[in-house]
């Protein structure tokens, strides 16, 4: 039976022993796993842990600054690197989702590598890998390799010559959350919905432009804030908005408009492998749809995704 307190005590002792006075670098994503790994390592080795939080320009609205402030408030030794323009520049003109993922993975490694070279004498790379990632990274080497390439595991190049430390490698997600709670991490952070590494890029169908990212960030923000204020956020496993590559006709005053369509998606799931769409209240959908169309310029139609996985996936890509 898993006890988070005992895990923390044992892991902190093990990390102290293993890492001694070595310097360790870790990439924070804003998600639960990397945050819990960082706080655990910080407890073991303090300021010898150097955290890097990269803005890939595809995070949720205001997320980079908000999460960076939160990390600093937690006493983590963290550097925020705003590389949004670089990522969006490299992604320009790319429509294929797998090419988007590969591009983001490559640029992330370049940025992370540049940053870690600014630190002297780093010996270790820490990662927030959890048990399901370990399993999945084994299976993606099989026949399904072309389905999806996660860059979370083993994705960093050999030339970094760092030893790997993964304190959460044997834990399931709910255990990670319990460890995080024991470590005193803000419950709001621990309760965050999963968010894909390639971020909003796989929720913008077709090519990515800074204008599309901004529209989607605004739509997503109205949806997520709405879920929170209606008390629905914690009842949903994952939610987000998708910007479709079609325009549709609408009316505004005496004019006809020809503007973007967005889809909203909210699912219940335990592990993301299967998922059911959530029966969100009609009153909520009505309010959020009105808010999106009134507040976000360039969108004149909102649809709700009522497909389950399988056969539909959670992301639209
Ligand atoms: P799908 O779309 O395959 O998504 O039903 C299942 C879960 O995986 C997340 N996802 C990703 N996470 N890198 C990630 O780190 C990715 O490339 C990626 N693609 C999908 C998705 O958000 C959902 O939680």
Tokens 């908005």 identify what position? 241
- Is 27 strand, coil or helix? strand
Tens of pLDDT, residue by residue over 24-75, are 999 999 999 999 999 999 999 999 999 999 999 999 999 999 999 999 999 9
Residue 203 resides in a domain: no
d(CA 128, CA 76): 15
Examine the domain organization and report whether 148 and 267 are in the same domain. Answer: no
Which of 100, 155, 196 to mutate to test ligand 1, by most ligand atoms within 8 A of the CB atom? 196
Percentage of the chain beyond pLDDT 70 is 93
Ligand 1 atom 22, closest CA: 196
Residue 309 maps to a domain = no
Burial class (CB in 10 A: 0-12, 13-18, 19+), 312: middle
Residue 244 has pLDDT above 70, yes or no: yes
In a domain, 297, yes or no: yes
Report the chain's mean pLDDT, rounded to a whole number. 92
Q: Is residue 164 part of a domain?
A: yes
- If asked whether residues 21 and 75 sit together in one domain, one would say yes
Please tell me whether residues 164 and 250 are part of one structural domain: no
The proportion of the chain whose per-residue pLDDT surpasses 90, expressed as a percent, equals 86
Residues 31 and 168 in one domain: yes
Write out the two tokens for 107: 């640029």
Give the span between the Cα atoms of 8 and 181, in whole angstroms.
11
Q: What is the pLDDT of residue 139?
A: 56
Known binding site for ATP: residues? 29-35
CA distance 102 to 106: 6
What is the ipTM for the molecules in this complex?
Answer: 0.99
Residues 182 and 33 in one domain: yes
Do 183 and 118 fall within a single domain?
Answer: yes
Residue 186 scores a pLDDT above 80: yes
Q: What is the structure's pLDDT at 8? A: 98
| 29/128 same-domain check | yes
N- to C-terminal Cα separation, the chain = 39
Binding site listing: 29-35
Number of domains in the chain: 2
Q: Which residues pair with 26 in a beta bridge?
A: 51, 126
Of the pLDDT bands very low, low, confident and very high (cuts 50, 70, 90), residue 257 is: very high
Q: How much distance in Å is there from the Cα of 272 to the middle of ligand 1? A: 8
| pLDDT tens string 110-169 | 999 899 889 889 999 999 999 988 887 765 544 333 334 444 545 555 446 789 999 999
Q: Whole-model pTM?
A: 0.90
Residue 85 has pLDDT above 70, yes or no: yes
Residues 213 and 180 reside in one and the same domain: no
Number of H helices, E strands in the chain: 10, 9
**Cα-based torsion angle of the residue sequence 105, 100, 277, 174 in order, rounded to the nearest 10 degrees:** 0
Query: 294 pLDDT exceeds 80?
Result: yes
Same domain as 257, residue 130:
no
Q: Is 128 in the pocket of ligand 1 (CB under 6 A)?
A: no
Specify the CATH number for the domain of residue 290. 3.30.300.10
104 located within any domain:
yes
Strands 255-268 and 238-252: antiparallel
Q: Which of 136, 148, 155, 275 to mutate to test the pocket of ligand 1 (most atoms within 8 A of CB)?
A: 148
Could you tell me if residue 317 is inside a domain?
A: no
Give me ligand 1 centre to Cα 315, in Å.
Answer: 7
CA distance 315 to 197: 12
CB count, 10 Å around CB of 284? 16
For residue 258, give its domain range: 209-304
Q: What are phi and psi of 163, to 5 degrees?
A: -80, 150
198 lies in some domain: no
């Amino acid at each position: 039976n898993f006890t988070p307190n005992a895990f923390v005590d044992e892991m902190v002792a093990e990390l102290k022993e293993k890492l001694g006075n070595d310097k360790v670098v870790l990439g924070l994503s804003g998600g639960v796993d990397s945050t819990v790994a960082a706080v655990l390592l910080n407890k073991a080795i303090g300021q010898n842990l150097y955290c890097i939080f990269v803005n890939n320009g595809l995070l949720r609205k205001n997320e980079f600054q908000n999460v960076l402030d939160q990390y600093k408030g937690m006493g983590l030794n963290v550097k925020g690197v705003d590389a949004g323009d670089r990522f969006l520049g490299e992604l320009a003109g790319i429509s294929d989702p797998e090419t988007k993922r590969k591009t983001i993975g490559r640029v992330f490694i370049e940025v992370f590598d540049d940053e870690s070279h600014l630190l002297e004498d780093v010996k270790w790379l820490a990662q927030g890998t959890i048990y399901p990632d370990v399993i999945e990274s084994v299976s993606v080497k099989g026949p399904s390799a072309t389905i999806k390439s996660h860059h979370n595991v083993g994705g960093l190049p050999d030339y970094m010559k760092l030893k790997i430390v993964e304190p959460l490698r044997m834990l399931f997600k709910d255990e990670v959350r319990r460890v995080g709670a024991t470590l005193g991490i803000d419950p709001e952070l621990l309760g965050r919905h999963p968010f894909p590494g390639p971020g909003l890029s796989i929720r913008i169908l077709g090519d990515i432009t800074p204008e599309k990212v901004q529209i989607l960030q605004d739509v997503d923000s109205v949806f997520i804030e709405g879920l929170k204020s209606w008390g629905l956020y914690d009842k949903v496993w994952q939610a987000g908005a998708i910007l479709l590559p079609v325009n549709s006709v609408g009316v505004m005053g005496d004019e006809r408009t020809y503007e973007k369509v967005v889809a909203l998606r909210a699912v219940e799931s335990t592990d993301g492998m299967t998922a059911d769409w959530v029966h969100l209240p009609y009153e909520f959908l009505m309010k959020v749809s009105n808010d999106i169309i009134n507040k976000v310029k360039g969108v004149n139609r909102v649809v709700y995704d009522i497909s389950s996985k399988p056969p539909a996936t959670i992301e639209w890509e």
